[in-house]
Chain A
Amino acid sequence: MIASSGLLVALIVLTIVLASVFLVRPSITAGVTGKILAFVGLCVLPALCIDAGMSTHMERSEQTKFCISCHAMDNYGKSLYVDDPKYIPAQHFQNHRVPADNACFACHADYTIYGPLKDKIRGVTRIYLQYVSKPPEHITIPGGYNNNQCLHCHNGARSFEENPVHIVIMDTLTSNQLSCISSGCHDTVHNPSEVDHLKMWSAGQ
Protein backbone atom coordinates (compact mmCIF):
# COMPACT_ATOMS: atom_id res chain seq x y z
CA MET A 1 0.00 0.00 0.00
CA ILE A 2 1.47 3.32 -1.06
CA ALA A 3 0.56 5.86 1.58
CA SER A 4 2.90 8.73 0.83
CA SER A 5 1.41 11.37 -1.45
CA GLY A 6 4.83 12.10 -3.01
CA LEU A 7 5.29 8.49 -4.03
CA LEU A 8 1.76 8.39 -5.33
CA VAL A 9 2.29 11.48 -7.49
CA ALA A 10 5.51 9.94 -8.86
CA LEU A 11 3.59 6.75 -9.67
CA ILE A 12 0.84 8.77 -11.37
CA VAL A 13 3.36 10.73 -13.47
CA LEU A 14 5.12 7.51 -14.51
CA THR A 15 1.77 5.99 -15.51
CA ILE A 16 0.81 9.11 -17.50
CA VAL A 17 4.15 8.95 -19.36
CA LEU A 18 3.71 5.26 -20.18
CA ALA A 19 0.07 5.69 -21.19
CA SER A 20 1.06 8.64 -23.41
CA VAL A 21 3.51 6.39 -25.24
CA PHE A 22 0.65 4.05 -26.17
CA LEU A 23 -1.53 7.00 -27.11
CA VAL A 24 1.08 8.32 -29.55
CA ARG A 25 2.59 5.03 -30.77
CA PRO A 26 0.19 2.13 -30.14
CA SER A 27 2.08 0.12 -32.76
CA ILE A 28 4.89 -0.60 -30.27
CA THR A 29 2.67 -3.30 -28.80
CA ALA A 30 3.46 -5.41 -31.87
CA GLY A 31 6.61 -6.73 -30.13
CA VAL A 32 6.82 -8.77 -26.92
CA THR A 33 8.48 -5.92 -24.96
CA GLY A 34 5.74 -3.52 -26.11
CA LYS A 35 3.06 -5.99 -25.01
CA ILE A 36 4.64 -6.30 -21.57
CA LEU A 37 4.99 -2.51 -21.30
CA ALA A 38 1.35 -2.08 -22.34
CA PHE A 39 0.25 -4.53 -19.66
CA VAL A 40 2.27 -2.63 -17.04
CA GLY A 41 1.29 0.86 -18.25
CA LEU A 42 -2.37 0.27 -19.03
CA CYS A 43 -3.29 -2.31 -16.42
CA VAL A 44 -0.87 -2.82 -13.49
CA LEU A 45 0.13 0.81 -12.83
CA PRO A 46 -3.38 2.30 -13.22
CA ALA A 47 -4.70 -0.38 -10.83
CA LEU A 48 -1.96 0.58 -8.36
CA CYS A 49 -2.88 4.26 -8.78
CA ILE A 50 -6.53 3.48 -7.96
CA ASP A 51 -5.55 1.48 -4.87
CA ALA A 52 -3.01 4.03 -3.62
CA GLY A 53 -5.37 6.93 -4.40
CA MET A 54 -8.18 5.29 -2.46
CA SER A 55 -5.99 4.63 0.58
CA THR A 56 -4.64 8.21 0.48
CA HIS A 57 -8.16 9.64 0.30
CA MET A 58 -9.38 7.36 3.08
CA GLU A 59 -6.46 8.48 5.24
CA ARG A 60 -7.20 12.15 4.49
CA SER A 61 -10.87 11.75 5.26
CA GLU A 62 -9.93 10.84 8.84
CA GLN A 63 -8.59 14.36 9.38
CA THR A 64 -10.55 16.81 11.51
CA LYS A 65 -10.24 19.54 8.86
CA PHE A 66 -11.81 17.19 6.28
CA CYS A 67 -14.88 16.59 8.48
CA ILE A 68 -15.46 20.23 9.37
CA SER A 69 -14.93 21.48 5.81
CA CYS A 70 -18.67 21.00 5.22
CA HIS A 71 -20.73 24.01 6.33
CA ALA A 72 -23.16 21.74 8.20
CA MET A 73 -20.26 20.58 10.40
CA ASP A 74 -19.09 24.10 11.38
CA ASN A 75 -20.63 24.11 14.84
CA TYR A 76 -19.56 20.53 15.48
CA GLY A 77 -15.99 21.68 14.84
CA LYS A 78 -16.47 24.69 17.11
CA SER A 79 -17.82 22.45 19.87
CA LEU A 80 -14.31 20.98 20.21
CA TYR A 81 -13.20 24.35 21.60
CA VAL A 82 -15.97 24.92 24.17
CA ASP A 83 -14.41 25.97 27.47
CA ASP A 84 -16.49 23.60 29.60
CA PRO A 85 -15.30 20.17 30.78
CA LYS A 86 -18.89 18.85 30.67
CA TYR A 87 -18.66 18.89 26.87
CA ILE A 88 -17.34 15.40 26.14
CA PRO A 89 -15.88 16.09 22.65
CA ALA A 90 -14.22 19.32 23.89
CA GLN A 91 -12.77 17.56 26.92
CA HIS A 92 -11.29 14.80 24.79
CA PHE A 93 -9.98 17.15 22.10
CA GLN A 94 -8.45 19.79 24.39
CA ASN A 95 -6.75 17.26 26.67
CA HIS A 96 -5.43 15.18 23.76
CA ARG A 97 -7.36 12.12 24.84
CA VAL A 98 -7.92 11.77 21.10
CA PRO A 99 -5.40 12.88 18.43
CA ALA A 100 -6.26 16.51 17.59
CA ASP A 101 -5.77 15.98 13.85
CA ASN A 102 -8.09 12.98 13.80
CA ALA A 103 -10.48 14.05 16.55
CA CYS A 104 -13.75 13.28 14.71
CA PHE A 105 -12.63 9.90 13.44
CA ALA A 106 -11.38 8.84 16.89
CA CYS A 107 -14.97 8.78 18.21
CA HIS A 108 -16.83 8.16 14.92
CA ALA A 109 -14.77 5.32 13.50
CA ASP A 110 -17.81 3.41 12.24
CA TYR A 111 -19.26 6.36 10.41
CA THR A 112 -20.23 6.58 6.70
CA ILE A 113 -17.28 5.42 4.55
CA TYR A 114 -15.68 3.57 7.47
CA GLY A 115 -18.77 1.52 8.20
CA PRO A 116 -20.42 -1.30 6.25
CA LEU A 117 -22.03 -0.75 2.80
CA LYS A 118 -25.23 0.71 4.32
CA ASP A 119 -23.17 3.42 6.03
CA LYS A 120 -21.16 4.12 2.88
CA ILE A 121 -24.40 4.70 0.93
CA ARG A 122 -25.55 6.98 3.75
CA GLY A 123 -22.29 8.91 3.42
CA VAL A 124 -22.91 9.50 -0.29
CA THR A 125 -26.47 10.60 0.55
CA ARG A 126 -25.03 13.18 2.97
CA ILE A 127 -22.73 14.54 0.26
CA TYR A 128 -25.77 14.82 -2.01
CA LEU A 129 -27.69 16.69 0.71
CA GLN A 130 -24.75 19.02 1.29
CA TYR A 131 -24.12 20.00 -2.32
CA VAL A 132 -27.33 19.36 -4.23
CA SER A 133 -30.20 19.44 -1.76
CA LYS A 134 -30.24 20.87 1.78
CA PRO A 135 -28.63 19.29 4.85
CA PRO A 136 -31.05 18.48 7.72
CA GLU A 137 -31.41 21.00 10.54
CA HIS A 138 -30.47 18.43 13.16
CA ILE A 139 -27.88 15.87 12.16
CA THR A 140 -28.36 12.57 13.95
CA ILE A 141 -26.59 9.23 13.88
CA PRO A 142 -29.04 6.57 12.69
CA GLY A 143 -29.39 3.91 15.37
CA GLY A 144 -27.80 6.19 17.96
CA TYR A 145 -24.24 6.52 19.15
CA ASN A 146 -22.64 3.12 19.65
CA ASN A 147 -20.91 2.60 23.02
CA ASN A 148 -18.17 0.64 21.27
CA GLN A 149 -16.81 3.98 20.08
CA CYS A 150 -16.14 4.86 23.75
CA LEU A 151 -15.23 1.38 24.91
CA HIS A 152 -12.52 0.75 22.33
CA CYS A 153 -10.42 3.19 24.39
CA HIS A 154 -12.02 3.17 27.85
CA ASN A 155 -12.57 -0.55 28.23
CA GLY A 156 -9.76 -1.91 30.36
CA ALA A 157 -8.84 1.54 31.70
CA ARG A 158 -8.62 1.55 35.50
CA SER A 159 -10.46 4.86 35.97
CA PHE A 160 -13.33 3.54 33.87
CA GLU A 161 -13.59 0.02 35.27
CA GLU A 162 -13.19 0.98 38.95
CA ASN A 163 -15.78 3.75 38.76
CA PRO A 164 -18.62 2.57 41.09
CA VAL A 165 -21.33 3.79 38.70
CA HIS A 166 -19.76 1.97 35.77
CA ILE A 167 -19.36 -1.26 37.79
CA VAL A 168 -23.12 -1.45 38.41
CA ILE A 169 -24.14 -0.90 34.78
CA MET A 170 -21.13 -2.45 33.01
CA ASP A 171 -23.18 -5.19 31.29
CA THR A 172 -25.70 -2.74 29.88
CA LEU A 173 -22.86 -0.54 28.62
CA THR A 174 -20.93 -3.31 26.90
CA SER A 175 -24.11 -4.72 25.33
CA ASN A 176 -25.04 -1.19 24.15
CA GLN A 177 -28.42 -1.36 25.95
CA LEU A 178 -27.68 1.86 27.84
CA SER A 179 -25.92 4.62 25.95
CA CYS A 180 -22.88 6.30 27.51
CA ILE A 181 -24.39 9.62 26.41
CA SER A 182 -27.78 8.91 28.07
CA SER A 183 -29.45 11.67 30.01
CA GLY A 184 -27.86 11.95 33.45
CA CYS A 185 -24.60 10.35 32.29
CA HIS A 186 -22.24 11.92 29.75
CA ASP A 187 -25.09 13.71 28.04
CA THR A 188 -23.42 16.96 27.02
CA VAL A 189 -22.01 16.23 23.61
CA HIS A 190 -21.73 18.62 20.64
CA ASN A 191 -24.91 20.71 21.18
CA PRO A 192 -24.31 22.59 17.90
CA SER A 193 -27.23 24.99 18.42
CA GLU A 194 -25.72 26.33 21.68
CA VAL A 195 -22.08 26.53 20.65
CA ASP A 196 -22.25 30.12 19.38
CA HIS A 197 -23.30 31.37 22.84
CA LEU A 198 -20.61 29.57 24.85
CA LYS A 199 -17.19 30.61 26.06
CA MET A 200 -14.46 29.19 23.83
CA TRP A 201 -10.99 27.93 24.67
CA SER A 202 -8.06 28.70 22.44
CA ALA A 203 -4.78 26.81 22.59
CA GLY A 204 -1.97 28.72 24.35
CA GLN A 205 -4.22 31.31 25.99
Chain B
Amino acid sequence: MKLGGLGLQRLLRIASVLIIVGLITEIISLCWVHPLAFVLFAFVSASLMGLGILVYLASIVFAVPPPPGDRG
Protein backbone atom coordinates (compact mmCIF):
# COMPACT_ATOMS: atom_id res chain seq x y z
CA MET B 1 0.00 0.00 0.00
CA LYS B 2 1.31 3.47 -0.87
CA LEU B 3 0.08 6.81 0.51
CA GLY B 4 0.26 8.52 -2.85
CA GLY B 5 -1.43 11.81 -1.90
CA LEU B 6 0.67 12.59 1.12
CA GLY B 7 4.31 12.18 0.25
CA LEU B 8 7.30 11.51 2.45
CA GLN B 9 8.06 15.13 3.34
CA ARG B 10 4.52 15.92 4.39
CA LEU B 11 4.43 12.88 6.66
CA LEU B 12 7.79 13.86 8.14
CA ARG B 13 6.45 17.34 8.88
CA ILE B 14 3.34 15.90 10.55
CA ALA B 15 5.51 13.53 12.61
CA SER B 16 7.79 16.43 13.64
CA VAL B 17 4.88 18.62 14.72
CA LEU B 18 3.32 15.81 16.77
CA ILE B 19 6.63 15.03 18.46
CA ILE B 20 7.45 18.70 19.17
CA VAL B 21 4.01 19.38 20.69
CA GLY B 22 4.30 16.17 22.73
CA LEU B 23 7.73 17.20 24.00
CA ILE B 24 6.55 20.71 24.93
CA THR B 25 3.65 19.26 26.94
CA GLU B 26 6.13 16.85 28.57
CA ILE B 27 8.24 19.82 29.72
CA ILE B 28 5.09 21.50 31.11
CA SER B 29 4.17 18.29 32.96
CA LEU B 30 7.65 18.07 34.46
CA CYS B 31 7.32 21.55 36.01
CA TRP B 32 4.48 20.35 38.23
CA VAL B 33 4.25 17.66 40.95
CA HIS B 34 0.55 16.87 40.80
CA PRO B 35 -1.69 14.00 39.63
CA LEU B 36 -2.86 16.15 36.70
CA ALA B 37 0.75 16.49 35.54
CA PHE B 38 0.89 12.71 35.34
CA VAL B 39 -2.37 12.66 33.39
CA LEU B 40 -1.06 15.37 31.05
CA PHE B 41 2.07 13.34 30.41
CA ALA B 42 0.44 9.92 30.08
CA PHE B 43 -2.58 10.92 28.01
CA VAL B 44 -1.34 13.91 26.00
CA SER B 45 2.47 13.94 25.74
CA ALA B 46 3.06 10.21 25.41
CA SER B 47 0.11 9.82 23.01
CA LEU B 48 1.25 12.68 20.75
CA MET B 49 4.83 11.41 20.67
CA GLY B 50 3.71 7.83 20.12
CA LEU B 51 1.52 8.99 17.25
CA GLY B 52 4.42 11.03 15.85
CA ILE B 53 6.68 7.97 15.92
CA LEU B 54 4.00 5.92 14.16
CA VAL B 55 3.55 8.59 11.48
CA TYR B 56 7.33 8.65 10.95
CA LEU B 57 7.43 4.85 10.66
CA ALA B 58 4.46 4.98 8.26
CA SER B 59 6.37 7.53 6.19
CA ILE B 60 9.21 5.04 5.81
CA VAL B 61 6.95 2.16 4.92
CA PHE B 62 4.13 3.67 2.88
CA ALA B 63 4.97 7.11 1.55
CA VAL B 64 5.62 7.76 -2.13
CA PRO B 65 8.72 9.95 -2.59
CA PRO B 66 7.81 13.44 -3.88
CA PRO B 67 8.58 14.42 -7.45
CA PRO B 68 12.08 15.97 -7.80
CA GLY B 69 10.72 19.51 -8.32
CA ASP B 70 8.84 19.45 -4.96
CA ARG B 71 11.94 19.08 -2.73
CA GLY B 72 13.00 21.60 -0.10
Are both chains from one complex?
A: yes
Interface, chain A (partner B; CB < 8 A): 5, 8-9, 12, 15-16, 19-20, 22-23, 25-27, 29-30, 38, 42-43, 46-47, 49-50, 53-54, 56-57, 60-61, 63, 65-66, 69-70, 113, 127, 130-131
Q: What are the nearest 8 A-B pairs in CB distance? A: A23-B16, A26-B9, A42-B56, A26-B12, A19-B16, A27-B71, A46-B49, A22-B16
List of B residues within 8 angstroms of A38 by Cβ:
12, 56
Interface centre among B17, B20, B23, B42 (most CB of A within 10 A): B23
B37 beta carbon closer than 8 Å to chain A: yes
List of A residues within 8 angstroms of B49 by Cβ:
46-47, 49-50
List of A residues within 8 angstroms of B71 by Cβ:
27, 30
What is the predominant secondary structure among interface residues of chain B facing chain A?
Answer: helix
Residues of chain B from 55 to 72 with CB closer than 8 A to chain A in the complex: 56-57, 71-72
B24 beta carbon closer than 8 Å to chain A: yes
Residues A53 and B30 in contact, CB atoms below 8 Å apart: yes
Given A15-B19, A19-B16, A26-B8, do A46 and B52 touch, yes or no (CB 8 Å)? yes
Residues A66 and B24 in contact, CB atoms below 8 Å apart: no
List of B residues within 8 angstroms of A70 by Cβ:
35
Query: For the complex, what is the distance from the CA of A23 to the CA of B12, rounded to whole Å?
Result: 7
Query: For the complex, what is the distance from the CA of A12 to the CA of B25, rounded to whole Å?
Result: 11
Number of interface residues of B (CB under 8 A): 36
Given A23-B17, A50-B49, do A66 and B12 touch, yes or no (CB 8 Å)? no
Query: For the complex, what is the distance from the CA of A77 to the CA of B49, rounded to whole Å?
Result: 35
Residues B22 and A46 in contact, CB atoms below 8 Å apart: yes
Residues A61 and B38 in contact, CB atoms below 8 Å apart: yes
List of A residues within 8 angstroms of B12 by Cβ:
22, 26, 29, 38, 42
List of B residues within 8 angstroms of A23 by Cβ:
13, 16-17, 20
B1 beta carbon closer than 8 Å to chain A: no
Given A46-B53, A53-B41, A57-B41, do A16 and B34 touch, yes or no (CB 8 Å)? no
List of A residues within 8 angstroms of B9 by Cβ:
26-27, 29
List of B residues within 8 angstroms of A130 by Cβ:
35
Given A23-B13, A29-B12, do A15 and B23 touch, yes or no (CB 8 Å)? yes
